[in-house]
Amino acid sequence: MEILRSLDAMREWRASLAPSQRVGFAPTMGNLHAGHIELINVIKQQSDVVVASIFVNPMQFGGNEDLDAYPRTLEADLAKLEASGTAAVFTPTTTDIYPDGVSQHTAVDVPGLTDVLCGASRPGHFRGVTTVVSKLLGIVRPHIAAFGAKDLQQVLVIKKMVRDLSINTEIEVVPTVRESDGLAMSSRNGYLSHDERALAPLFSRTLEETAKRVAESGSDIKTVIAEGEAILTEAGFVVDYLEARHTYDLSEASSLNQETALFGAAFLGTTRLIDNRIV
């Protein structure tokens, strides 16, 4: 496995590939778990070579979010990627990605989809995501890139960006990988205390049960969601949002005449959990 620690090394490796080789790409921020490896496994089936990136992107962290505390486990991550059959790993520095600093870098904004849900709770977050993803796609030039469905809003934002900017990369959405108790795998799960980790699966179960009830209720969506939110609040979660929205434009769903998903985010202690279920 090639470890590409600079822009020049990444570009040289990419240029060394035959034009006929199909390149798959899995961008990550490291601290890898089985969900990340599933991105590699899925993309391998559709590619000749797979490259991953590990970059903790400062532009997507808000002022009240601790960038320095984000787990960095590079050596363990590299071992997992090598075992998964990844051909190359791009590990750029912040200077590689933002040579003039984050505040002076050109940014990519995707309107509409980024104003709600996590976009409302974390202003500027998706601006950071779309900027770094567009840059990584430009550097790596993959034919296909994989993203996890756990971050469904992020997937929808990236798909719109790729479409709007005519980026020649297919976006593959990989189903959410879950722990045996149903909790969606996330690097942030490591922040949970022992007691919080024991309670955390209730978040995913409540979303699943609420989504089923929304599908059965048809029209009484808000009442069903309010009941789901009350279950979480009573258990000790601080609910950020629990909302049914259409997946084509993230408009609020008052009916189920278009594909709809239930999106949820909640704090358990200081850890913010997110998940979703298609209704």
Positions marked active-site:
36
Quote the distance between the C-alpha of residue 182 and its chain's center: 18
User: Could you tell me the CA-to-CA distances from 268 to 151, 180, 239 in Å, in that order?
Assistant: 18, 19, 9
Structure tokens at 85: 């059959």
User: Could you tell me the CA-to-CA distances from 12 to 47, 53, 275 in Å, in that order?
Assistant: 19, 15, 38
Contact between residue 141 and residue 88 where contact means Cβ atoms under 8 Å apart: no
Contact between residue 200 and residue 273 where contact means Cβ atoms under 8 Å apart: yes
User: Could you tell me the CA-to-CA distances from 179 to 175, 185, 219 in Å, in that order?
Assistant: 13, 6, 32
As a whole number of angstroms, the distance between CA 155 and CA 163 comes to 12
Longest Cα separation, the chain: 58
Quote the distance between the C-alpha of residue 57 and its chain's center: 13
Contact between residue 57 and residue 177 where contact means Cβ atoms under 8 Å apart: no
242: three-class secondary structure by DSSP: strand
User: Could you tell me the CA-to-CA distances from 81 to 3, 54, 85, 90, 210 in Å, in that order?
Assistant: 11, 11, 7, 11, 36
Tally the residues of the chain.
279
